[in-house]
Structure 1
Amino acid sequence: MGKKQKNGGDGSPAEMEAAGRAYGIPCQELMTMLEERDRNALIEAGGVSGLADKLHTDLSKGISSTASGEYSIDSRRKAFGPNKFKYPPPKSFFRLLAEAFKDVTVIILCFAAIVSLIIGVAFEEKREEYGYVEGIAIVLVILVVTVVQASIDFSKERKFRQLNSVKDNYDVMCIRDGENIRVPAEEIVVGDVVKITAGDKLAADGIFIEGSNLKANESAMTGEVIDISKSSEKDPFVISGTSISEGVGHILVVAVGERSQWGLILKTLIVEPEDTPLQERLDSLAMNIGKIG
């Protein structure tokens, strides 16, 4: 096993541009090539061997794990980003509880509880009839509902993060210093030569180098269930987030993390959910009921 390298941070665009000057092709150009699966751009770059030269990679020996300076593993992370995905920071239980109180129905119930308590306390006749009990009951119902909802959401949030940590935690076989070594997927960098076999999940975007009967299942990206044959002539682009269904081969990594095709899609998926049409109608109904009340 090779030595584990320190993970470099994902710098600002200016820092990435400065670090990327050492390489013969900018990060954005590689991303565009993969996104458009542009074979002409690949040919103009000199094919996979030309890309390897620009990325200072030996296709048979891989990158050097002991290189220092502008071609070190750390400098590759600065130039092309780390192979990590940024998930939104977890919400605390109290934040989820506060969000539960923003629900239109809960707000109306709070207003009703306040009115009921004021009437039950302000008027002697209502006090004698324990009219304030109704307001207290509404408050208790609100507390129970919001605490239960916040607890459910908090549990779902924790499970989601546990699943992500397991999903992103696996090893990849790559070539460094001329040796086959296994490294965590998050330590893969642009320029790495990765060995892929049937059943492997693609940890990064890459360009086909060589292989035998290599086929990829790209249904996660395209929705098509047909396996796609990979070769220099037909389709040399191997996309992250997909899996290898058949064969064996080697690829040159050209995009990782948030700049990979899977990373770009993931960023669009990790957004705050909007209210569904049904939820909007229920909120409107609750407001109308509140006005009538």
Structure 2
Amino acid sequence: MGEHSRTVEEVLERLNADKGGLTTAEARRRLATEGPNRLPDARPDSLIKRIAKQFNDILIYVLLVAAVVTAVLQHWIDSGVILGVVVINAAIGLVQEGKAEAALEGIRKMLSLDAQVRRDGRWVTIAAEELVPGDVVRLRSGDRVPADLRLLATTNLQVEESALTGESLPVEKGPDSVDEDAGVGDRTSMAFSSSLVTSGRGVGVVVGTGANTEIGRINTMISEVETLATPLTKAMNRFGAQLSIAIGVLAAAMFAIGLIVHGNPPGDMMIASISFAVAAIPEGLPAIMTITLAIGVQRMAKRNAITRRLTSVETLGSVTVICSDKTGTLTKNEMTVRAIATADGTYTVSGTGYQPDGQVLLDDAPVTLDRPDLLALVEALAVANDAEVSEGEDGQWVMIGEPTEGALQTLAVKCGFDCSEYDRVDEVPFESEHKLMATLGQSPDGRPLVLVKGAPDRLLKRSSTQHSIQDGESALDHAWWEERIAEMTVHGLRVLAAARYAPHENQRSLSLDDLDDGLVFLGVVGIVDPPRPEAIESIAACRRAGIAVKMITGDHPATALAIALEMDIVSNERGDDAVMSGVELEAATDEELHAIARDYSVFARTSPEHKLRLVKALQSAGEVVAMTGDGVNDAPTLKRADVGVAMGIKGTEATKEAAEIVLADDNFASIERAVEEGRTIYDNLRKAILFILPTNGAEALVIMFAVVAGFALPLT
């Protein structure tokens, strides 16, 4: 049973602790037993061992033998060239190695440095490494959570967990226990180590430190994940083995024929056999491969794909499945109002992101704030709002504040609404308990007004009337509004509502009690993180190229499905059955998972283990998998995938270090272009190999034919 599903009392009893915290003596005793709150350091290989690894390749063995033989024959230039090729390849491999170790170091840098803890009945600041299970820790806005905590009490606490879950919006936290089978993103009673407190405050008891935290578990997964050989490496290993056997057999046969059939001296036949072997070995092949891949790296960099390992360039050309995160890769990671519903009509909103390009449409015709219902709704959403959107010097629009509020301000700018002249006298700030924000102020024309925005269910309970153009204020049609909210929710939209009331003329303060009843309900808006238009085109291009695209996200199933439908990752025919949740993946056996990985394209509420199992299942079916990610939770899967692709802008350092390729623009379209470039490079590499092998073969055949036919040896 996990700590998230236990009550506060059960957790404290299990830890032999209480809300007053531990004594210093008890904390010291537990520290000696549990160890410090830090991730274990991996013991790195020695430099000699790392260098030796670079020569553990059958083609390199063949080249080393060729270098020795050519040196014996005093062909010093040939020996030098061959050794140079071997050394250069070893140097490149040595530089690229250590990716996983660097990823682990990237995770360690994310951990909190200190913590506010209750010791001996008072609050003190200590190094986070000294925390032990049972310690009571205080969290405030801006803090990085120092260990895994079971929350005891919270006030408007919101924690940003995108590095662990992939979900872009902060999560509201509280002390109430949740279901045992809840995924990491749904464990609202927990605050996880390395996550960031974005607002509010809270107190929690430490339940996990060091390797026993959620991020510690991911750290362990990274160190244990097996990295697969690339298709090019596998092919070259097979080729090297086959070539070595063939050269050995033919050289031995040639020696026997020359000695027994034609009676040539053993010394001459030995030189002939060695010369044959040297001629047959394509010593220029590693150099050609390295140069071709290096050119490919430069070309891919121009397409915003930074390559960290040479062979991954070729692997991209072999990819058959791309597993992509949703937030920021397939979508813009900029919340956008898509739909509006008032008592007088249902509107759609064009444009995406914080760039205020777009219009409000009613029956596909543009409308303006001349419509009183639209004006009243936009006024409430924009004035009861603390975010700002503005145009930067580079012409790009930027948002300062909470993403959802930024979407509402962008809607206001699209409509031409200016809230700068509104005076704010008092406010009720947003808190998770009441899920609304209200402001008391005055409009530019002197009207006193209270404007409210928040969760639809909370505002509907506090409203008695609704606003419409024809009837002014009329009785609230609760059932009708529930239908509008359900329509937006089923399409994966996050729904917010707005309301207002006219305060007393001399009212100078505002409290939650003032909002208990009598609000005028104005309408609702549906908000979504919209797909990137270029990503939609890229997915279609991938499908035409025979590459399957699968979305693996920590977001909710309804949101994931709505985006997948819009991007044509899945079709409408399957409906809700098109999404597989993390809970279902958890219950699936390995055999069932193979069928699930093949048949489904959208996976929601997934954990790092789920992602890793999915990639392994696809690889076991013979697929070459590219995996994208930005959070620490993606690092194990990026390491396991045939090609790991990290986001360069919003990706964590741990993720970038675990990946082979880093996207400079965080855009799925760059992946598609990189795959296209990879296929071109693969084709060029194949042509180069086909060119060099006949050249070496011709040299070897001349010697072999002379010996077999009994001619004079073509040696000087």
Query: Normalising by the residue count of structure 2, what TM-score does the alignment of the two structures yield?
Result: 0.30
TM-superposed CA distance for 1:164, in Å, is 5.7
2:217 corresponds to 1:264:
yes
More strand by share: 2
| Identical residues among aligned pairs (%) | 25
Separation in 2, partners of 1:55, 1:75 = 14
- Give the aligned residue type for 2:90: T
Cα gap change, 1:244/1:279 in structure 2, threshold over 3 Å: closer, same or farther? farther
Is structure 2 residue 9 aligned with structure 1 residue 49? yes
Match 1:99 to one of 53, 67, 87: 53
For 1:240 and 1:208, the matched residues in 2 are separated by: 13
Query: What residue ranges of structure 1 are gaps of 5+ in the alignment?
Result: 1-31, 121-129
User: Are positions 1:254 and 2:191 aligned together?
Assistant: no
Tell which structure's C-alpha radius of gyration is larger: 2
CA, structure 1 residues 131+54, in 2 after alignment: closer, same or farther (shift >3 Å)?
closer
CA contact (8 A) 1:80 1:255 kept: no
Amino acid at match of 1:229: E
Aligned-partner Cα distance in 2 for 1:205–1:81: 15
1:280 paired with 2:280, answer no
Equivalent residue runs for 1:107-118 within 5 Å: 107-118=61-72
**Amino acid in structure 2 at the alignment position of 1:269:** I
Matched residue, 2:273: none
Name the aligned partner's letter for residue 85 of structure 2. V
Partners in 1 of 2:31 and 2:171 — Cα distance?
30
The answer for the alignment partner of 2:141 in structure 1 is 198
**1:107-256 residue pairs with structure 2 within 5 A?**
107-118=61-72, 120=73, 130-147=74-91, 149-150=93-94, 153=97, 163=106, 166-168=109-111, 170-233=113-176, 235-256=188-209
CA displacement at 1:211 relative to structure 2: 1.7
| Partner Cα separation in structure 2 for residue 215 and residue 84 of structure 1 | 24
Is the CA contact (8 Å cut-off) linking 1:113 and 1:138 kept in structure 2? yes
CA offsets per residue over residues 21-67 of structure 1, 9 Å max, x none? xxxxxxxxxxx514xx4x2xx1xxxx2234324434331x32111x2
User: 1:94 is aligned with what amino acid?
Assistant: I
Structure-2 change in CA distance of 1:215 and 1:104 (3 Å): farther
**CA pair 166-237 structure 1, distance change in 2 beyond 3 A:** closer
8 Å CA contact retained: 1:56, 1:63 = no
Indicate yes or no: 2:36 matched with 1:73.
Answer: no
Question: What is aligned with 2:2?
Answer: 33
CA spacing shift, 1:163–1:140, aligned 2, 3 Å: same
TM-score between both structures, scaled by the size of structure 1: 0.69
Alpha-carbon distance in 1 for matches of 2:207, 2:104: 27
CA distance in 1, matches of 2:157, 2:85: 60
Q: Residues 96 and 133 of structure 1: is their aligned pair in 2 closer, same or farther, counting only changes over 3 Å?
A: same
SS at match of 1:270: helix
Could you tell me which residue of structure 2 aligns to residue 64 of structure 1?
23
What letter matches 2:59 in structure 1? T
- Structure 2: which 5+ residue stretches go unaligned? 179-187, 248-279, 281-716
**1:168 CA displacement:** 4.0
Q: How many pairs are equivalent?
A: 236
Mapped contact 1:190–1:255 kept (Cα < 8 A): yes
How far the C-alpha of 1:248 sits from its partner, in A, is 1.0
1:83 equivalenced with 2:25 (yes/no): no
Letter in 2 for 1:135: S
How far 1:187 sits from its partner (Å)? 1.1
Q: 1:152 to 1:199 in 2, by over 3 A?
A: same
Q: 8 Å contact 1:206–1:251 — kept in the other structure?
A: yes
- Report deviation, 1:180: 2.0
**Contact 1:48/1:252, CA 8 A, preserved across alignment:** no
8 Å CA contact retained: 1:93, 1:151? no
- Give a deviation string over 1:219-247, Cα, whole Å, max 9, x none: 22222223221112363122224222221
SS at match of 1:208: strand
Q: CA deviation at 1:165?
A: 5.7
Q: Is the partner of 1:85 in helix, strand or coil?
A: coil
Question: Using the alignment, how far apart are the partners of 1:237 and 1:50 within structure 2?
Answer: 14
SS in 2 for 1:62: coil
Over the aligned positions, Cα root-mean-square deviation in angstroms equals 2.9
Rate the CA distance shift 1:222–1:78 in 2: closer, same or farther, 3 A: same
Q: CA deviation at 1:162?
A: 6.3
Name the structure 2 match of 1:23: none
SS of the aligned residue for 1:180 comes to: strand
Relative to structure 1, is the Cα distance of residues 165 and 213 closer, same or farther in structure 2, using a 3 angstrom cutoff? closer
Q: Is the 8 A contact 1:90 1:157 kept in 2?
A: no
- Cα pair distance change 1:236/1:164, threshold 3 Å: closer
Q: Shift in Å at residue 106 of structure 1?
A: 2.1
For the residue of structure 2 that corresponds to 1:265, the secondary structure is helix
Q: CA deviation at 1:207?
A: 1.0
Task: Point out which structure has higher relative CO (alpha carbons under 8 A, 6+ apart).
Answer: 1
Partner amino acid for 1:107?
Y
Cα distance in structure 2, aligned partners of 1:224 and 1:165? 21
The answer (yes or no) to whether the contact 1:215–1:246 under 8 Å persists in 2 is yes
Q: Deviations over 1:259-289 (max 9, x none)?
A: 1222112101113533233332343344455
Alignment deviations for residues 9-28 of structure 1 (CA, whole Å, 9 cap, x no partner): xxxxxxxxxxxxxxxxxxxx
> Residues 171, 105 of structure 1: CA spacing in aligned structure 2 closer, same or farther, 3 A cutoff?
farther
Alpha-carbon distance change, 169 to 111 in structure 1, aligned in 2, over 3 angstroms? farther
Q: CA separation of 1:167/1:227 partners in 2, compared to 1, >3 Å: closer, same or farther?
A: closer
- Matched AA of 1:90: P
**What is the CA distance between 1:163 and its match in structure 2?**
4.9
CA shift in 2, pair 1:157/1:261, >3 Å:
closer
Distance in 2, Cα, partners of 1:141 & 1:278:
18
Deviation at 1:98, TM superposition (A): 0.8
- Deviation of 1:148 after TM superposition, in Å, equals 5.3
